[in-house]
Each structure stands twice: as C-alpha cells, then as structure tokens.
Structure 1
Amino acid sequence: MNFDYSPKTQDLIARVTAFMDEHVYPNEARHAREVAEGNRWAPIPLMEELKEKARAQGLWNLFLPHSDVGGGLTNLEYAPVCEVMGRVLWASEAFNCSAPDTGNMEVLERYGTPEQKARWLRPLLDGKIRSCFAMTEPGVASSDATNIECAIVRDGDEYVINGRKWWSSGAVDERCAVFILMGKTDPANPDRHRQQSMIIVPRDTPGVKILRALKVFGYDDAPHGHAEIAFENVRVPAANLLLGEGRGFEIAQGRLGPGRIHHCMRTIGMAERALELMCRRSLSRVAFGKKLAEQTVTMERIAESRILIDQARLLVLRAAHMMDTVGNKAAAKEIGMIKVAAPTMACKVIDWAIQAHGAAGVSDDFPLAYDYAQVRTLRFADGPDEVHRNQIAKLELARYR
C-alpha cells in the first residue's frame, strides 16, 4: 500500500481545507443561530449558500467511487478529504457528502433501476432533496437485523408496508422526500438472511406517520433529526422494490461498508480538531503556577491522543485500500475493526479535550460536548461495537479452523 496521497487527493485536501477556513469555521455561530430560529426542521439559508459555493468549486458528491455521476474518487482518495469535512459536524452536507444521503445514493447507484435513478438519485445528487434510511425498530434488538419485523406484503401490483421504525435519521427534515426501508417480504424463509427486502417509500405516501423527533443526549440534531415513524397500510408500487425480494441483506452489506468507513473518516477529523483545541487551551491556561501544557498529565493525554488518532487513521486507510482493491466483502474484518476503533478513540480524545477546557468544555461555547454526543452515538450506529467485535473474532478464528 502506498501511503503517499496522490496529487489529485492533495489538491482536493487543499481545496476543501480552504473552503472550511473561508466558509465553515467562520460560520459556526451563524449555523447554530439559524437552526435555533423559527422552524427547526426547515433548511437554513447558510447551508443553501454553502452548497452553491461548494458545487461551483467542483467540491460536490466526492464520495461516489468509480462513478460518472459523482466525484469519481476511490475510498482511499476520499478518506483524507472526508476527514477534513468531519472537523465540523454539519460541514459534509455543504459538499453533498453527508449521511444518510451518501449511503442511499450508493444504494440507488448500485442497485436502482433506470427509473428509480431518474426519480430519486438525480435530485439527491443535485442536492435538491434529502433522504432517510429506515431500518432500526423499537420493538426488537435491531443489532441483529434478522429480528426486523416490519412487514412488506405483495398485493397485486403493490406492496403494503406495516411496522414501526425509529432512529430514522433525516426523516424530520422538511427536505426529506424518500425513505429506503428494510422489512420482511418472506418471514417463513428458512434462510433468515433471505427474509428481508428493501423498498423505496416516498415520504408523502398515505400511512407514513412521523410520531416524534428523537433526541440524542438532549440534542435534536435539527434540521436533520432522527424520527420514530409508523407505517400503517402504506402502499407503494411493486416497482419500488430494490433488486428483488429477499435481497435486503445483500443491499445492506453493500450500503453499510461505505457508510461505516465514511463515519470513521469524519470521526478522525473530529478527533483532530479536539486535539487542536486541547493543545491551544492548554497553552493559554495557567493552573497551580504553570500552564496546563506543562502539567505532566496534560502532556501524557496530548501524546496519547496523537498516537491513537494516527493509529486509527492508518486502520481507516488500510480498510479503504482493501475496499478499493479486493471489495467490501473481503474487507469486512477491516471495516469492522475501524468501526470499533475510530469512535472509541474519538470518545477518549474528545473527553480529554473537554477536561482540558474545564467547565467550558461541556458548554456550547466549544463544539466538544456536541461532538462527544455524536461520537458516543456512533458506537451504536451502523452496528454496535459488540456486533463488530463478534464478527472480527469469527473471521480471525476462521483462520485456525
């Protein structure tokens, strides 16, 4: 593996960094202010302005590898660029590179019909609409996706959907126009991984009911949000099914690999910024007669943070390289490893940064408290740590059987 970034990647890192310096960091307070004003689920003027600027500079849809409709970057090329975006929680949306839209666009690009792509993929790529991925359910342990109970039943030329979902990210956003939903079409199939299917559900379909917006550690993540949703006799055309009945797990694995690694890329950027803030704070604050940066405990935490971040980055780059060269399935262990390592690392680094800031660290004057809430939540999203560890162990043990 070549650890040097290509000239193409270096150019994009420089351009995205310049965009962040000029348009994102100076507008963090404005973003918070506009989200807090009026309808919290409506798009804010700042984001629409930034999207226009990013698209005009060619910094748009960079996440789609080997595609003529996106940035055409490989996972390895995209990783350090995505890391820069991750330094501010909401920044990736300005480049049309934010979850869950990226994963849903990958699904439509890989598995959608020409008609599905024309209706849903094109406006998503243009940033005209947003989307939601509806998989997790309140009634079952969704870490085992075979537990999913939402029913997708064929009735003539339609499918009828009944069930309840929650933590459906993006569903509360007024721009959300479409869900990709996972449910069961064949619950009696003896192969538990062939019972599920994925289907496209327009948000305005009768029977789709947003029950409530869910909070994460007290944050509602507006205007994005996470919803609990009831699907009551929701009828959609049979043509909305993706790939075919019983192929939901196949699609999920194709979707979650890139989604997981994108989360990890952004998480490294978040940890880098936390370390930067910790260093700056410790150089400017005096306690017990000397600067925090001169206190041994602070120096140890700064050193350990640098070690942990660089370790996680190397794991992410290796996983990205494998995804590009041998495919997502062959890279399953490496993807699982980074999904455990990156959020765990970031939780520790951000926690140390909060400690260095004292009471200010848990306030809204700095991004650390919100970042910590997001990273801690990421240890559940796209599969909890325990599931990934079990899978890693099984793959490791298989070498000796």
Structure 2
Amino acid sequence: MRTVRVNAASKSYDVLIGKNAAKVLGDEAKKVCPGAIKALIVSETNVAPLYLDLVKAELEGAGFEVIDYVFGAGEQNKGINEIAGMWNKMAEAGFTRTDFVVGLGGGVTTDMAGFAAATFLRGIKVIQLPTSLLAMVDASVGGKTGIDIPMGKNQVGAFWQPSLVVEDISFLKTLPDEVFTEGMGEVTKHAFIMDLDLLEKLEKAAGDIRSDEDLLEEIVYMNVSDKASVVGEDENDNGRRQTLNYGHTVGHVIERDSGFTKPHGICVAKGMGIVMDACVRAGTLAADDAERMKALLKLYKLPITDDITPEAIVEGAMNDKKKRGDTLSVILVNKIGNAEIKKMTKEEFLKFLSI
C-alpha cells in the first residue's frame, strides 16, 4: 500500500493506493470519522452492482449503519435533483454532523458525493473511493466538488476536501476500455504540464499501462503525487492549481456542446491538441515538442482535434469558471513539463485560436 499525504490549507489527509485497498476502508473510516454512526454510500448504476455490497460490508463490519443512494450513470445526471435526493436520504435517516458520505464511482460520483457532503448540515465529512482511472488520478483528490447546469460543467460547487481517499487498483480491472482511455486524458496532462519522468514512463510503456498491475499502481501514485503537490500550494485555484486545467478551457466547451455525451477525458485531450496547434502557429511551442505530445496522446488512443470552430470555443469559454472579470486564464505548455497561465481577453483568445 502506498500513501500520498495531501496538505491542503484547510485540511490534510491521506490517499491510500494499492491492490485490494478497499479492505482497509472500515478501519480507516473509524480513524478519520470518530464519533460517526451512519454512512451514506453514493454510487451509480454501473458501479453499484460491482462494488456496493463489498464496500457496504466493509463499513458495516467496522460498526457503521450504512445506507446507499444509487443514481443513473452518466454526466447528464450530474445535477441538483440527484443532490437533493442525497440530502433527503440523509435527513430521513437522521444523519448528524459526525456522520459521513462515501463516494463510490468515477468522477461524476466523487464530485456529487463531495458536494452533497459539503452542503448537508453545512458540511459533513466525505471519504472518496474512486473506481475509474480518471477519478483516481484527478477528480477524487483536491476537494473540487460540484454539479453541472445547462450553461456549463461544474458551474455550481464547493471546495470541500475529503477526509480520506482510498484507491483500490483492483477496481480498474472491470473498467471498460473506453473509460480507461478517457482517464489517460488526465494522466497525459500531468505529464505535459509538470512531470517529465511520468512522460518518459508512459512513452516506454508503449500504450499499455493496464496489463502490468504494478506499473499501473506506480502511474496512479505518480499522478496523485503530482496533484497533491499542486493542491498543497494552491488549494482554491487562484494560482498554480489553474495549470491543472490544461486542455480544459477548450475541452469543457466541446463537452458541453455535445450535451455531455462526449467523455470528459476525451474532450480534454482534444482541447490539449487544439491549444498545442495554436502555440505552434504562434511560434511559442517547438513543432517537435508538439509532435512528441501528440504522439503520446495517439499512443493511448486519444484524439487530438475536433471540428469545433474558434468562435464557438471563445463564446463557450466566456461562461467558464476560470474567467476572472473580462479575462480568461488560458493554460499553455510552451515547453514540455512546464505550464504557464496566460491571461487573455475574448478578442485575444479568438486571435490566438485563429492564427
């Protein structure tokens, strides 16, 4: 079992990573949630049939009263109606401020479980138990929680750090290939913006990190360590943490315009590719570096472009939560392993994309 300590300004906590890590959930929950009597497991219809009984048994074995809330799988259900359902479930069960929520699923689930916990009784604890690669390397760590509204992704939410994250690598065995590939969008992003060792490890693996469970655990550990270092420096997204949004400004627009039918990690990969091309045209990114990054995306079966227009990107980005006043924080990689934040007006962003 590997441990990454996240030292956010508001709270410090552990991320436990390993094969069969879920078996320690009950004992670890007692440590981080002293005085808790009840637990709500939030999951969705794809994951619950696989792992809900196992997780419930672990918590009940530790003496907790456990109830569950299972919603329909998919980004389209990441809204206020499901959150209200979670609130009502906890209220009906008599939850108090010492009780806690467990998010069991991918990024949609961990985002929603965290938001339900952040807002019920003005905040109760949450433990994240991610089951997808994307959720393990990104969504479950760092305390960003939220839901979507018609105008955009994650437009309503809160910073609410978990009390514990348990990442059971064995859960990835049941992940469909296309969902695993989606998670590689976030894995490659970390390599591009800050981690040359990760980049080289991914290149050496030649497109297959899944068949070697030890390698997969190492890759997850490296990504979580990268994310933890950023969150420890900038919890609330006012500085360095914004660099984790590489590819996201464009990707979120593609995702929203698809009616949230295109997977998040796929849209991030497209966003990165589009920004890389713009940087090459602007003369700030060497063509060889761009080709190296694109080659890695292709190696892991990720797309590098989309038919969205610059005008559509800019209009959509104006509703992005990374906007500050009349400027947008656009994340660029002009040298592999080093991301930078570029403030652009609407007009400057359109010019950048249209060069």
TM-score by length of 2: 0.30
TM-score by length of 1: 0.27
Q: Which has the higher strand share?
A: 2
